[in-house]
Amino acid sequence: MAADTAIDPQCRGILKEAVIAALARHTVRTANVCISIVDDSRIEKLNQQHLGHQGPTDVLTYDLSESDGKVGKPDSISERRMDGEIVISRDTARREAELRRHPIEAELALYVVHGVLHLLGYDDRDDACSTAMHAMEDEILASIGVGAVFARAPIPSDHGTHSAAAKNT
C-alpha cells in the first residue's frame, strides 16, 4: 500500500482487510492493488487530468490489468485476477468523516471498497447501480466489523466519487 500521506498501522490493517473482503466476495484469486492516499490538491490534479473534472474528489481508480478489464467474467474462477490503483483523498475523507460523525478509518475503508468495486467493473453512474453498489459496500464493511458507513450517513446523492476508468498502458 503506497501512501503519500502517512497512515497508522491500525488503519493500514483495516484498509487491507477491506480490500481482501471485497476481493473474496468476488472470488478474485490474485490481485495487485496499490492504494495511494493523497491530499485534495493532488487528487484534484488527477481528477482534472484523467476525467476532465474540476475540483477534488474522494477516490479515483485505475485499471492496470493487461486483460480487457472484465475481472468478473474469467474462463475459470482460478483465472480471476485484478490489477489496479486506488487513489484516495485523505482531506475529503477527513471532512466526510467529521460530517458523518464516524472515524476517518471507516471513511477510508469505504473509499477502498468503492475503488475495488470499480476495478471489478461496478458502476455508480445511475441511481439503481449506485444504490446497489453502496449497499454492497456496506455489506462488505459490516463483514469486517467496520459496520455500514454509507447507509448511516446523510450525504447528498452526488457526493463526488469517480472512477477514472483510465487504463494505463
- Average pLDDT for runs of 10 along the chain of length 169: 65 95 92 95 96 95 75 50 94 93 94 96 90 94 92 54 44
Q: Which residues contact 144 (CB under 8 A, 6 or more apart)?
A: 14, 17, 18, 21, 109
pLDDT on residue 65: 84
Q: What is the Cα–Cα distance from 124 to 95, expressed in whole angstroms?
A: 22
Q: Which residues contact 81 (CB under 8 A, 6 or more apart)?
A: 28, 29, 30, 31, 65, 67, 71, 74
Annotated domain spans of the chain:
9-167
Bridge partners of 38, per DSSP, are: 89
Q: Which residues contact 89 (CB under 8 A, 6 or more apart)?
A: 37, 38, 39, 40, 42, 43, 56, 57, 58, 59
Backbone phi, psi, residue 151, to 5°: -65, -30
Within 13 Å of residue 79, how many CA atoms lie on the same side as its CB? 10
pLDDT on residue 7: 80
Q: What is the Cα–Cα distance from 1 to 31, expressed in whole angstroms?
A: 13
Helix extents (H) in the chain: 9-25, 40-51, 90-100, 104-119, 127-143
Q: Has domain 9-167 been given CATH number 3.40.390.30? A: yes
